[in-house]
Amino acid sequence: MLVIEPQVHRDPRGFFAETYHAARYAAAGIEGDLRGRTTTRARWRDTLRGLHAQLERPQAKLLRVLRGAIYDVVVDVRRGSPTFKRWISVELSEENFRRSTFRSALAHGFCVRSDFAEVEYKCSDVYQAGDELGLAWNDPEVGVAWPIAEPILSDKDRHGQALAAKLLPRLPSTCRRL
């Protein structure tokens, strides 16, 4: 995961910030062919979405928080990777203007740290139903240190699978950049 801190110009009227610049991002090694855009809104604090990844058509993502604040998490689910099963997190908010970006073939999730949150994703490929990996948010083998004990979950996220159980055979087996 890379964290991007854009230059924000503030004055009494508000602010101005460039939210995407393809040439600068490409020069920094960030995958640039972003084909899809998604916005999600969580209505309640402690809502947790994830951990998800696409298997056959993995997605690199660039995230920003439009409203509120989130605890953003990425987990390396690439078998054979030197960082396999390791995770990283960052706090993203409308106030700090940070963005996170990560390569494809990584599982992603977040939990809401404000009363509600609205998050925008730019993705390198479009979402494909049926191609999704659903890793259990609380898988002890991964051990993400979420800042909440009892998240609000969707049925899909409540039934995420442990990495060692049924998911391991489905994971990408190399560290190649997808």
Q: Please list the active-site residues.
A: 52, 121
**Residues in Cβ contact with 96 at an 8 Å cutoff, skipping those fewer than 6 apart:** 5
The DSSP code sequence of 131-157 is -EEEB-TT-TTT----S-SS-B--HHH
In whole angstroms, what is the distance from residue 18 CA to residue 40 CA? 21
End-to-end Cα, the chain, rounded Å: 15
- Spatial contact of 95 and 43, defined as CB atoms under 8 Å apart: no
Cis peptide before 51 (omega within 30 of 0): yes
